[in-house]
Amino acid sequence: MKDSLQRFVFEHAPIRGEIVHLDATWRAVLEHHDYPPALRAVLGEMMAAAALLAATLKFDGTLIMQIQGSGPVRLLVVECTSEHHMRATAKWSGAQVSGALRDLVGAGKLVITLVSDSGRQSYQGVVELEGAGIAGILEHYMQTSEQLATRLWLACDTSQAAGLLLQKLPQRAETDTDDWQRALHLASTLTGHELLELAAPQILHRLYHEEDIRVFTPRPVSFRCSCTRERVTAMLRMLGHDEVKSILNERGTIDVNCEFCNRKYQFDRVDAEQVFAAEHPLHAGATRH
């Protein structure tokens, strides 16, 4: 099954939906870290949820979905760009990574950030973790931050992650309750197995063959890490010349691993001097004379 997002709308009710399937995209995330099974299950659902949420937004940039925890799992991060390029990672410690989401992260926060293509943060929403699982937490977030009634169904295994989103559009709030309830009821008959195994058109037929549904062209989703040597260079500049020199004196080289894709960036003494020389070309020129 291809990695894709499938948008659909109800023709006669203010309800829209998205279905996501992540196949190679999810496996690329799993290849980069050996996640404990309980953490993997949560991260896969979060991947599907982030893709669904990004698909409902009109923006050019990156949606960053973070769960900041106080348990054995300190951080879960999933990013999805408006081009539907995704990456994800998690930080955890110890062997006690088991159980449901709350056992993993303890008390914590969901943080949703939008960063524009120019790198500027354009929006940030923070809520306490309320609701059951990733779907419940996101539904709570959408209700409190966006005032949008949204329901999510998420599933993942070791090779794929998938999700279904339904969202009630704000207009005609009084008259559409029955349509919304029927759409939710039908969606809730979908099993996790069906969500993973059926293609989006099959899911829509299985749930809504009696409804008038408009289906849009599917959009591809893929894993892509945005890390570059230029970005690592910018990070070293922020660290400062003295700190960089002190690391070089201690270790001989500066080695930076991208936590999303494991790519290794190495800077030796000459590279490091260039990082700072490029920042102060006049100063560097002056010292040569």
d(CA 110, CA 192): 24
Considering beta carbons, is residue 214 or 231 the nearer one to Zn ion?
Answer: 231
Task: Tell which residue, 228, 279, 288, has the closest CA to residue 258.
Answer: 228
Which residue, 238 or 270, has its beta carbon nearer to Zn ion? 238
Residue 241: partners with Cβ closer than 8 Å, 6 or more residues away: 276
Q: Between residues 190 and 227, which has the closer beta carbon with respect to Zn ion?
A: 227
Measured from the Cβ of residue 263, the count of other Cβ atoms closer than 10 Å reads 15
CB of 138 to Zn ion, least distance (A): 25
Report in angstroms how near the CB of residue 222 gets to Zn ion at its nearest: 14
Long-range residue pairs from 58-64, CB within 8 A, at least 24 positions apart, any chain: 59/114, 59/116, 59/122, 60/116, 60/117, 61/114, 61/115, 61/116, 61/117, 61/122, 62/114, 62/115, 62/226, 63/112, 63/113, 63/114, 64/111, 64/112, 64/113, 64/114, 64/115
Q: How far is the CB of 136 from Zn ion (least distance, A)?
A: 30
Least distance (Å) from Zn ion to the CB of residue 258?
A: 3
Minimal distance, residue 92 CB to Zn ion, in Å:
19
Report the amino acid identity of residue 171: Q
Contacting residues toward Zn ion, per CB under 5 A = 225, 227, 258, 260-261, 263
When the beta carbons of 215 and 234 are compared against Zn ion, the nearer one is 234
Nearer to Zn ion, 24 or 227 (CB): 227
